[in-house]
Amino acid sequence: MLLTGSHALVTGASGGIGGAIALRLAAAGARVSLAGRREAALLALSGRLGDKQGASQAFDVTDENAVGEAIASIRAAAGPIDILVNNAGTSRSAPFARTDAALWSDMLAVNLTGSYLVTRAVAGEMLARRAGRIVNIASTAGLVGFAYVSAYVAAKHGLVGLTRALAVEFARQGVTVNAVCPGYTETPMLERAVANITAKTGRSESEARATLAAGNPGGRLVTPEEVADAVLWLVSPGASAITGQAIEVAG
């Protein structure tokens, strides 16, 4: 029970990776608060946390006012936040020539600005206490380039850059900031990518999944639980000297 007495907030908790992270942190002893857009999914996950339930708030991480109100409500209900996992994210693909300003803005808003807004709302109390853990869920797309997802790649590179900048800024105040960069992972987002590939190329579902799996070094898809294990390590007491890192979880 490495995290007994800690309060963790996981954004994007209604998705596959976010749910796995929430369950893993709760199993390690943390009280876990959940954030996401789908209230029904949050409530279902909250029920699985047992006595480790914190608060549950459905809000849009790109809405500055909503973020401020939600964080205040979570603090009031469950106490100061010791661990923040910025997991909220989304992906849409298009050739660059068809990447219009709306798609570009949406990808940056959800995948980068959302983490900035939530971190800004939470980090102050961590710095005041001189203790805290922040983990940003980026992607291997934050480390290398991929075709047809230029806006997503730009946003995730930005998130890795934000991670490194804050790690340096917060290092002397006891707050670590790291990024976890999953490769292709078994999530609803991956299922949407598979459907997109089959629709546009005529490949079968199994062929599309094999194509994505081949993009990971081990030739297999990563599980959400494997991503959650990396997060658990980074927020544990044993990782107190690890900050500013972008840990690839891609097999």
pLDDT of 221 reads 85
pLDDT of 191 reads 72
pLDDT band at 113, cuts 50/70/90?
very high
Residue 152 annotated to the active site: yes
Residue 190 has pLDDT above 70, yes or no: no
Q: How far apart are the C-alpha atoms of 8 and 34, rounded to whole Å? A: 9
pLDDT of 35 reads 96
β partners of residue 246: 179
Total-model pTM? 0.92
Residue 216 has pLDDT above 70, yes or no: yes
What is the residue extent of each domain of the chain? 7-183+223-242, 184-221
pLDDT of 76 reads 97
pLDDT by residue (tens digit) across 147-177?
A: 999 999 999 999 999 999 999 999 999 999 9
Residue-wise burial string across 220-242, b where 16 or more C-beta atoms lie within 10 A, e elsewhere? ebbbbebbbbbbbbbbbeebeee
3-state secondary structure of 205: helix
Residue 187 has pLDDT above 90, yes or no: no
Mean pLDDT of 108-117: 98
Percent of the chain with pLDDT over 70: 100
Mean pLDDT of 5-34: 96
Mean pLDDT of 189-198: 74
Report the mean per-residue pLDDT for the chain.
93
| Strand ranges, E, within the chain | 7-10, 31-36, 53-58, 83-86, 132-137, 175-182, 246-249
- The DSSP secondary-structure symbol of 154 reads H
Annotated catalytic residue, options 116, 148, 152, 184: 152
For residue 154, give the nearest of 113, 185, 98, 212 by alpha carbon.
Answer: 113
Instruction: Specify the fold of 7-183+223-242.
Output: Rossmann fold (3.40.50)
pLDDT of 152 reads 96
- The DSSP secondary-structure symbol of 201 reads H
Q: How far apart are the C-alpha atoms of 25 and 17, rounded to whole Å? A: 12
